[in-house]
C-alpha cells in the first residue's frame, strides 16, 4: 500500500492509497461473491489473519465495507458493501475481463458473471450479452467458469 503522504494531486494515486494493495481487492471480490464473515474470507484467500484484519479495518474506515454483528458472545461480524463499495463493481468487472483476455488459462475464464434475470453472461463493460441490459452489482451473480477446474476448483459451485 502506498504511503498516505503520497505527494501527487491525482485521483488514481488517491485511489491506490486505499485499494492498491493486492489483498484489498481480493477481500472486496470475496465480499462481492457472498463471503461476508472473517473466517470465510480468510479461508478462501489463505491470507494471514493479521493482514486480513488490517485490510477489513481499512475498508470499514474508508466506508467501502460496513461491519454488522451476527453474534454477541464472542462478538462476531459480517461485512457488507456500502454504496461506495458497490460503486467498485465496474472496476472489478473490468479487472476480471482484462485478466480473462490477457492472463486466462486455455480452458477459459475461471469465473463467469451472469445476469440474474436472464442468465446471460456479463461483458467487461457491465452489459448482459443476452439481453443487452446495463447491469449493476445487484443484478448479477458469479459462478465458476471452465477455467476454474484447470486451477483446481470444481467447474460449478456446489
CA 116 vs. chain centroid, Å, equals 18
Given a cut of 60, whether residue 158 has pLDDT beyond it is no
> Is the distance from CB of 134 to CB of 127 less than 8 angstroms?
yes
Q: List alpha helices for 20-136, DSSP H.
A: 22-32, 38-45, 49-61, 83-86, 89-102
**What average pLDDT does the segment 67-76 reach?**
94
Alpha carbon separation from 21 to 6, 38, 67, 125 (Å, rounded): 15, 18, 21, 24
CB of 23 closer than 8 Å to CB of 55: yes
pLDDT for the residue numbered 87: 97
For a pLDDT cut of 70, what percent of the chain falls above it?
90
Q: Nearest 5 degrees, angle CA 104-CA 41-CA 69?
A: 145
* Residue 130 confidence (pLDDT): 98
Give the model's confidence band at 40: pLDDT under 50 very low, under 70 low, under 90 confident, else very high: very high
Average pLDDT of the chain? 90
pLDDT, mean of residues 64-85 = 96
| Span 68-87, average pLDDT | 96
pLDDT tens-digit readout, 96-119: 999 999 997 788 899 999 999 999
Q: Over 60: is that where the pLDDT of 94 sits?
A: yes
pLDDT at 55 over 80: yes
pTM: 0.87
Amino acid at each position: 500500500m502506498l504511503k498516505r503522504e503520497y505527494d501527487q494531486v491525482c485521483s488514481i494515486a488517491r485511489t491506490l492509497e486505499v485499494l492498491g494493495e493486492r489483498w484489498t481487492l481480493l477481500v472486496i471480490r470475496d465480499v462481492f461473491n457472498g463471503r461476508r464473515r472473517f473466517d470465510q474470507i480468510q479461508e478462501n484467500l489463505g491470507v494471514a489473519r493479521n493482514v486480513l484484519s488490517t485490510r477489513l479495518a481499512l475498508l470499514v474506515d474508508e466506508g467501502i465495507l460496513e461491519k454488522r454483528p451476527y453474534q454477541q458472545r464472542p462478538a462476531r461480524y459480517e461485512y457488507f458493501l456500502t454504496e461506495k463499495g458497490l460503486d467498485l463493481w465496474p472496476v472489478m468487472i473490468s479487472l476480471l475481463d482484462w485478466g480473462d483476455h490477457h492472463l486466462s488459462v486455455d480452458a477459459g475464464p475461471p469465473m463467469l458473471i451472469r445476469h440474474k434475470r436472464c442468465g446471460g453472461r456479463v461483458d467487461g463493460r457491465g452489459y448482459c450479452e443476452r439481453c443487452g441490459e446495463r447491469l449493476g452489482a445487484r443484478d448479477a451473480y458469479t459462478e465458476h467458469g471452465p477455467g476454474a477446474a484447470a486451477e483446481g476448483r470444481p467447474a460449478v459451485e456446489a
